[in-house]
């Protein structure tokens, strides 16, 4: 956002401040809108497809990881969650909760449901 504001101001140095301020507001509103769209919708959708989880699952895991570990927690939250799901599927597959969380994982095995 700072870089966008800098480019806006430096591109219009000969303009009056009354003309620059609306442009700065447009740049900042656009930045916030795109950032909110990306963080709340596009990011979780892309992440959910790559780790085969529901977008709401990804969103909740990211929020919990941020609360527990801050920025570092947000970065490692989804990979840790994915590893924990695979471990749970391997060792605790007899539990209904684990079955529901991991039933859509594709590990290449041909499974038949009875």
Domain positions in the chain are 1-51, 52-107
Please tell me the predicted confidence (pLDDT) of residue 113.
43
> CB–CB of 93/99 below 8 Å?
yes
pLDDT of residue 106: 59
| pLDDT averaged per 10 residues in sequence order, the chain, 114 residues | 86 84 91 88 79 83 92 90 86 81 60 42
What is the C-alpha to C-alpha distance for residues 110 and 24, in angstroms, rounded to an integer? Answer: 56
Task: Tell me the per-residue pLDDT of 29-59, one tens digit each, with 9 for 90 and over.
Answer: 999 999 998 888 887 788 777 778 888 888 8
pLDDT of residue 105: 65
Contact call for residues 12 and 24 (beta carbons, < 8 A): no
Q: What is the pLDDT of residue 114?
A: 39
Nearest-angstrom CA–CA distance, 27 and 23: 6
User: What was the pLDDT predicted at 112?
Assistant: 41
pLDDT at 72: 92
pLDDT on residue 111? 46
């Amino acid at each position: 956002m700072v870089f966008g504001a800098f480019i806006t101001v430096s591109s219009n140095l000969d303009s009056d401040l009354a003309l620059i301020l609306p442009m700065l507001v447009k740049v900042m509103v656009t930045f916030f809108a795109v950032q909110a769209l990306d963080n709340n919708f596009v990011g979780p959708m892309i992440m959910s497809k790559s780790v085969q989880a529901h977008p709401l699952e990804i969103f909740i895991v990211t929020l919990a990881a941020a609360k527990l570990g801050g920025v570092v927690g947000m970065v490692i939250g989804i990979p840790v969650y994915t590893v924990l799901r695979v471990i749970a599927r391997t060792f605790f597959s007899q539990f209904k909760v684990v079955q529901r969380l991991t039933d859509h994982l594709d590990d290449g095995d041909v499974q038949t449901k009875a």
